[in-house]
């Protein structure tokens, strides 16, 4: 049965002290849950987070990585550097990486391949912009994001991939996709995977929703059959909100 996952993407927030305080509050308040709980602090605090969570059920993920093994890539982080500090999960393709740092499908395909070569778990983000939804192109956009970055992989790769559908118009805006919009897109994503890889693989892939998930809407969104959890931004920075979202699953 596919996994339920609640992941917190802390983006460029929280200094060292704030990171440690949030981690200890989350550890202390973490409810019993069947879901995997993941947090993705900023790079400089990853090793600390990993150390502080050694005896916790909360997993640590990185927010990005480079595709190269090592070398002259100023400001970048490799898969081996993450694995060296025992971080084996990485978020790739977040819309902020795509729009502010020019990451396109071709680059993401390389990053995905490197992460898979290193046997890492990938939380792969994608989703349409507002104009694309308004012009009724959201299904086409999502399909092409998936096909361009992921559909060159063989079937076994999907064991290491978690999808995160994040409509860009819902990220940090307070405007959430309705549970029905999320379900409609998640069902479309699963059908698209099924057509390419077959039902068995499509049924096992966890598909998270991201975009203004809050304690007040989490239960309705997570209640939809093709929504397997969430990638949470703003609300994951407040322990009580994040815990409430975990409880909602």
Ligand X SMILES: O=C[C@H](O)COP(=O)(O)O
Q: Which residues are designated catalytic?
A: 94, 166
Q: How far apart are CA 65 and CA 79, in angstroms?
A: 6
What is the contact mask toward ligand X in residues 81 to 120, using x (rule: CB under 6 A)? -------------x--------------------------
- Residue 119 burial by Cβ neighbours in a 10 Å radius (0-12, 13-18, 19+): exposed
**Which of 197/212 has CB closer to ligand X?**
212
Whether 73 and 47 have beta carbons less than 8 Å apart is answered as: no
- Options 113-121, 179-187, 191-199, 226-234: segment touching ligand X (CB under 6 A): 226-234
9 near ligand X, judged by CB under 6 A? yes
Q: What minimum distance in Å lies between the beta carbon of 243 and ligand X?
A: 15
Among positions 31, 155, 172, 198, the unique one binding ligand X when judged by CB under 6 A? 172
Of 209, 196, 98, the closest CA to residue 147 belongs to 196
Among positions 82, 212, 239, 243, the unique one binding ligand X when judged by CB under 6 A? 212
65 near ligand X, judged by CB under 6 A? no
Number of neighbours of residue 134 by Cβ within 10 angstroms: 11
166 near ligand X, judged by CB under 6 A? yes
Of 168, 170, 209, 167, the closest CA to residue 186 belongs to 209
What is the DSSP secondary-structure string of 158-186? GGGEEEEE--GGGSSSS-PPPHHHHHHHH
212 is in an annotated binding site: yes
- DSSP designation for 33: -
- Options 66-74, 81-89, 103-111, 231-239: segment touching ligand X (CB under 6 A): 231-239
169 is in an annotated binding site: no
Partners of 5 in the beta sheet?
A: 36, 229
155 near ligand X, judged by CB under 6 A? no
Among positions 202, 213, 246, 249, the unique one binding ligand X when judged by CB under 6 A? 213
- Secondary structure (3-state) at 193: helix
Mark the binding-site residues for substrate, compressed into ranges: 9-11, 172, 212, 233-234
Q: What are the residues binding ligand X (CB under 6 A)?
A: 9, 94, 166, 171-172, 210-213, 231-235
């Amino acid at each position: 049965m596919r996994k339920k996952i609640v992941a917190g993407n802390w983006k460029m927030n929280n200094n060292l002290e704030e990171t440690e305080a949030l981690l200890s509050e989350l550890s202390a308040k973490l409810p019993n849950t069947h879901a995997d709980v993941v947090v993705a602090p900023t790079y400089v605090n990853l090793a600390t987070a990993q150390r502080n969570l050694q005896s916790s059920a909360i997993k640590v993920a990185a927010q990005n990585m480079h595709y190269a093994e090592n070398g002259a890539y100023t400001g970048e982080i490799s898969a081996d550097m993450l694995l060296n500090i025992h971080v084996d999960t990485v978020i790739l393709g977040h819309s902020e990486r795509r729009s502010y740092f020019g990451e396109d499908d071709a680059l993401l395909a390389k990053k995905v391949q490197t992460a898979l070569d290193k046997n890492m778990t990938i939380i792969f983000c994608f989703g349409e912009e507002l104009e694309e939804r308004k012009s009724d192109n959201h299904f086409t956009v999502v399909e092409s994001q998936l096909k361009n970055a992921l559909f060159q992989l063989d079937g076994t790769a999907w064991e290491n991939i978690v999808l995160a559908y994040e409509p860009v118009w819902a990220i940090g805006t307070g405007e959430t996709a309705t549970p029905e919009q999320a379900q409609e897109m998640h069902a479309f994503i699963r059908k698209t995977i099924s057509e390419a890889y077959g039902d068995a693989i499509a049924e096992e892939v966890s598909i998270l929703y991201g975009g203004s998930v809050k304690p007040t809407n989490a239960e309705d969104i997570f209640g939809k059959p093709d929504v397997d959890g969430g990638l949470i931004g703003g609300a994951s920075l407040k322990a009580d909100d994040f815990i409430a979202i975990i409880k909602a699953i």
